Structure 1
């Protein structure tokens, strides 16, 4: 599975450990849901201004958020791609927001980014949290993914 990581912000240093964490979380998320080794996800680190502009443009919410997912196959049944990579979409994470939330929730920055990556990955795979039942399903899947990778609170 290919996880393409791009850092478009300069506020928070992105080290190899953080890149490995997000690659592992995406890979575990896709494996858990039965996606092929050919699946590809792009993950982009941004600042609050950048994610606010995306949030305003695509969701009509003119404020920063922590993570946005842009599924390429949203609403479509994903066919098995045997000869080409299966492009699933983009996950955009605001690192300044992740840092603030980590402090607020009392856990590490790496744990928060891992959680946001799992959350974004599940959105790419068609999960949402529009109802309490859906929210509970997503939360259990997120924690299971992190648990299998040994990423705890």
Structure 2
């Protein structure tokens, strides 16, 4: 059952394995495991050219199907292989439609592959109303079989406003105010606000957290170490959730995930205290399945997967390997019942593939957005 995925787009390399897995599952569900299928990921320019050449349409579309034969039964005759044909998908259009419909890119690609495969198998929704209904029912069945109910909605974005406070603290005055920045971010569409209250109070201050608790309309996520002083403060203020992170005084920013395995006792006690106050707890961990299991054992509600190594990768192979670690860790965490967020080092160039992972609910991004806002404004 070979599925071949050809990436002719500029940004599809990290999606090819996932696309191949979904296509292979589709062939299995259609009882076509003896057949070959080719998936081509391309851009709007190429698919527009294909539309003009084969359909006399001068516009890009999301998917095109090219069956080897109009009758699948003829594929066996005189051939040493069984080739279904090609499904060509424009990643440009797929991403636009996913954004417009508030869907993940992976879910959208699954819809398009299902639609394209059914066309190869002879379904044609343009032939008649009854044929359109028949094709729609089969699409629904296959999507249900794919078990894509993990997450169809687009990944949420939470903004970390620590860097606004860093600028303020550089002068020791009242501006810029991270509380005002948080309000601007929410008005612009952010679905959460993140702040890190450090023991040394290098940027975010107690006053900021108290005011944010009163003013944030989405969700306030307080990042913190497990120091007793900070724990007591969190129990008093009661943010919407806390994320426990490792903390070193000499670091410029959080350098890696918690070693939950070696700190299970201490972290478990902190989680228990937060739960008694009805505060959900997330643990910031490296992409490691053993850390996921330890997080589950001590009662965490969420894990936030550290994406720093992925963001800092210096070549494509390294980035691909780090991406696969994040993807498999997120899948394991979701499978055992943990909710999954991710963040650290994500920017306008590397966020797309992480946002496409169907088991990740929310991304936490700060530095990249605040840095760009210096030049073009926060809105």
Is TM more than 0.5 here? yes
- Match of 1:24? 21
Answer yes or no: is the 8 Å Cα contact 1:99–1:109 preserved in 2. Answer: yes
Match of 1:142 in 2: 139
**1:34 — aligned with what?**
31
> In the TM superposition, what whole-angstrom CA distance separates every residue of 1:120-141 from its partner, at most 9, and x where no partner exists?
1111111111222222222222
Q: Aligned pair in 2 of structure 1 residues 74, 2: CA closer, same or farther (>3 Å)?
A: same
For 2:88 and 2:104, the matched residues in 1 are separated by: 19
1:124 lines up with 2:120 in the alignment:
yes
Post-superposition Cα deviations, 1:45-99, rounded to whole Å, max 9, x if no partner, equal 0000000000010000010000000000124633546983201100000001000
**Separation in 1 of the partners of 2:137 and 2:18?**
19
CA distance in structure 1 between the partners assigned to 2:122 and 2:146 by the alignment: 22
Deviation by residue 1:96-117 (Cα, 9 ceiling, x = unmatched): 1000110111111110011101
Using CA pairs below 8 Å that are at least 6 residues apart, which structure has the higher relative contact order? Answer: 1
The aligned counterpart of 1:5 is 5
What is the Cα-based RMSD across aligned positions, in Å? Answer: 2.1
Say whether the 8 Å CA contact 1:21–1:114 is kept in structure 2: no
Q: For 1:82 and 1:25, locate their aligned partners in 2 and report how far apart those are by CA, in whole Å.
A: 29
Contact 1:25 1:146 in 2 (8 A): no
| TM-score (norm. length: structure 1) | 0.86
* Structure 1 residues 91 and 61, CA gap change in structure 2 (3 angstroms): same
Distance 1:20 1:141, change over 3 A: farther
Gaps of at least 5 residues in structure 2 are 153-379
Call closer, same or farther: CA 1:114–1:58 in 2, change over 3 Å.
same
Q: Does the Cα contact within 8 Å between 2:12 and 2:41 map onto a contact in 1? A: no
Q: Tell me which moved more, 123-132 or 91-100.
A: 123-132
Stretches of 4+ aligned residues off by more than 6 angstroms: none
Aligned with 2:87 (options 80, 91, 95): 91
Name the residue aligned to 1:43: 39
Gap runs ≥5 in structure 1: none
Is 1:60 aligned to residue 56 of structure 2?
yes
- 8 A contact 1:56–1:62 mirrored in 2: yes
Query: Would the aligned equivalents of 1:67 and 1:93 in 2 still touch at CA under 8 Å?
Result: yes
Kept in 1, the 8 Å contact 2:124–2:135? The answer is: yes
Query: What is the rounded CA distance, in whole Å, between the counterparts of 1:21 and 1:142 in structure 2?
Result: 19
> Against the structure 1 CA distance between its residues 39 and 81, is the aligned structure 2 distance closer, same or farther, given a 3 Å change threshold?
farther
